[in-house]
Structure 1
């Protein structure tokens, strides 16, 4: 015996030429009448929209979220300038959390750009507190979000490794940084750090 899902029933649906409402005068089915009424309500709601009565295209980026992220970043920067480094870390963390919470349909490039700068800035705030391990993690995350044009994050990561005495890792890190950032705005600082790394390696031997 066929189930209800497999049974096709054709109803004599009537379209009112004036109101364009759907109905079935012969039906005693409460379920069918409820479905037709739901369709009619949706139709009336669309007709009552102010012109143009076509839903606008979805916004790819929520401007309110962008503004909130920018405000948190500015607050963190202000705290950093006042040497309130712990407060700066807290504000950067909130901005990072908000950036990570962007809906999946928003451009991934925007998210990477935001996170790259925020992680790099939080790394610097950690460094001011000599929290080298935490700063190293953030520098890596910044570079993972954006390798090119991110010389500050490369340098900060290398500096953290130096401060932790991880000379071989620092050498590999800065070598890669120079391969990617060679000729960039932060090349001088990267080269200077590499000199310090070579000195540290020689002392280690």
Structure 2
């Protein structure tokens, strides 16, 4: 039987329907007080019947009662990319130890591109840490083929990635060595001084090497100034 709905319903009028729900079956029905009133019309009864049938059909569905599986950890893509970057880093380091400097540079470059291509929602500190160490290590590979310019640029990039935390002494020594080899003595001295300022308590072999290189840079800078 079709239900006819009036087309001139006043949408601004609120009509309170005295509905009740059965505690056991959860079915909807009109409250007994509405029997015989204008609200107990066939269209309303048909609508209630439709809702109750839908509710009954949903209850009869064979749905599992087990707890849904836990969502995948949000850091899974981060871990996968980190593992890939680590593999590239290890391969690049192996190539460097074999004096295969061009191959080492190529692999470090792949790792740098992968680290720089991380999604923006990943931790910035992680990206900076990865890039800083990769640039620092690629600088050493550039030094292996005496490409002092690229080595110097990578050292600068490594330091910039780590600001404001500071970098390790290795990158300061490598950057200073590249500048010395390019006969940029005053810049080398300034660079190495920055390194010692960043790590004033540096001791051991790293500290001695950094200070020795700084002394060499200062001496050559003085000699260059005196001869010019």
| 2:220 is aligned with 1:197 | no
Alignment deviations for residues 103-160 of structure 1 (CA, whole Å, 9 cap, x no partner): 1111111111111111111000000111000000000111112252411011111111
Task: List gaps (5 residues or longer) in structure 2.
Answer: 1-10, 12-46
Alignment of 1:123-202 (within 5 A): 123-146=139-162, 148-185=166-203, 186-202=206-222
Q: Aligned partners of 2:184, 2:76: CA distance in 1, in Å?
A: 43
Structure 2 match to 1:84: 100
Q: Distance in 1 between matches of 2:96 and 2:154?
A: 16
Structure 1 spans left out of the alignment, 5+ residues: 1-7, 22-43
Larger-gyration structure (1/2)? 2
Aligned pairs for 1:88-107 (under 5 A) are 88-107=104-123
Tell me the distance in 2 between the aligned counterparts of 1:96 and 1:162: 26
TM-score for both structures, normalised by structure 1? 0.74
69-78 or 102-111, which deviates more: 102-111
- Please tell me whether the aligned partners of residues 61 and 106 of structure 1 are also in contact (alpha carbons under 8 angstroms): no
Q: What value does the CA root-mean-square deviation take over the aligned residues? A: 2.7
Cα distance, 1:183 vs structure 2 = 1.7
- With structure 2 as the length reference, what TM-score do the two structures score? 0.67
